[in-house]
Structures are given as structure tokens and as C-alpha cells.
Amino acid sequence: MGIEELMDKLDLPSAGIEDPSGLYQLEGYRLSESLGYLLKRTVAMFSNALDQELSRYDLTHQQFSILMILSECNCSTAADLARETCGDTGAITRMLDRLEAKGIVNRVRSQDDRRVINIELSDAGKQLVEKLPAVPINVMNRHLQGFDRSELETMKNCLHRLLGNGGVTVPGSTNKPGTTSKPVSE
């Protein structure tokens, strides 16, 4: 099917804007001002900076994130980690293979259900989780130069609200999925 045939089949006028009073409209829409584009670029910027800093510890940003999630969240299996990171189980399993080979995590068969393999931080993994948060803190602080605390809190509140509007639960967040709660005043 050629592009002309595809265009004939598409009902472009009906693919219009759902909310005429929404914050984004067709008129004046630019990718460079799209929240999704800006968020993706920001995530890539932080991830690349963290990869550079963590390379001296033979870790990647994704591997470090897995360690922190194991430490802070109620995740104990590869499937739990995949859900929390929005990744696929296969990729998480391969990452866990690398972390286990480094002696940072252990796979332990569940006592309750022998089919389940739990992932636990090793003693070395626990030490990394205790000491390495200084790395992302330093990276974030460098990138947040010129912002004040209230701007940071506003930015985090907005992101929590955005995730909540999309039905995503963030551990430790007061915003519930599907809500449009207003930021809490300090």
C-alpha cells in the first residue's frame, strides 16, 4: 500500500483534538515544546551522565537503578523489577545475570513457592546501595544549578501529578493513579 492509498484510508479530520481547551493544540504545535520530547531528552541527559559517572564502579545507570529498586521498593523477582522499570523480563534477567556475576545480587529460591526465584542484594550490593547514591546526587545537583528548592519541589509535584493522571503509581508518592491532585503547599 502506497502513501496515497494510506492517506485516502485515513480519516484525518476525525483524528482531531479531543479536548479543545487542552493545553496542547494543533496550531503552533512544535516538537521542541512537547512535554514528552523534553522529558525523553531530560531522561537521556541524566542517564548518559550517570553512565559516565558510574562506569568507574563498573555499573550502568540501569544496573544502579535495579539495586536501588531492590533496596527501596517491594520488588523481589525479575517480573517485579520489569514492572517497576517498565522493562521486559528478558532484559531484566540478562541484567541480573551480569549483576550476579559481579557478586552484587543473589538469586534465592523462595521458601514459599519453589517455582519463584527471589532477587536479593548481596553484602557487596548493600554496600553499593549505601555509598553510591552520592553519584546520582552529584549528577542531579550539577544539572539543577540555578534552580531553587521550591522550583525542584514544583517540578517533582508536577511529574507526580502527570504520572498519577496516567495511572502510574510511584512508590512513596501521595498522588494516586487517575487523580489530578493539586501540589501540596509547604
Q: What string of pLDDT tens digits covers the 186 residues of the chain?
A: 678 777 777 665 556 788 889 999 988 899 999 999 999 999 999 999 999 999 999 999 999 999 999 999 888 999 999 988 888 899 999 999 999 999 999 999 989 998 999 999 999 999 999 999 999 999 999 999 999 999 999 999 999 999 999 998 877 666 555 544 444 443
Residue 180 lies in a domain: no
Domain count, the chain: 1
Residue 174 lies in a domain: no
User: In Å, how far from its chain's centre is CA 50?
Assistant: 14
Q: Is the pTM of this model over 0.75?
A: yes
User: In Å, how far from its chain's centre is CA 5?
Assistant: 39
- Kindly report the CATH number assigned to the domain that includes residue 94: 1.10.10.10
Residue 157 lies in a domain: no
pLDDT single digits (tens) 48-91: 999 999 999 999 999 999 999 999 988 899 999 998 888 889 99
Residue 64 lies in a domain: yes
Residue 2 lies in a domain: no
Residue 168 lies in a domain: no
Other CB atoms within a 10 A radius of the CB of residue 147 amount to: 12
3-state secondary structure of 118: strand
Q: Are 72 and 133 in contact (CB under 8 A)?
A: no
Residue 96 lies in a domain: yes
Q: Are 184 and 175 in contact (CB under 8 A)?
A: no
Residue 99 lies in a domain: yes
**Residue 88, domain extent:** 33-140
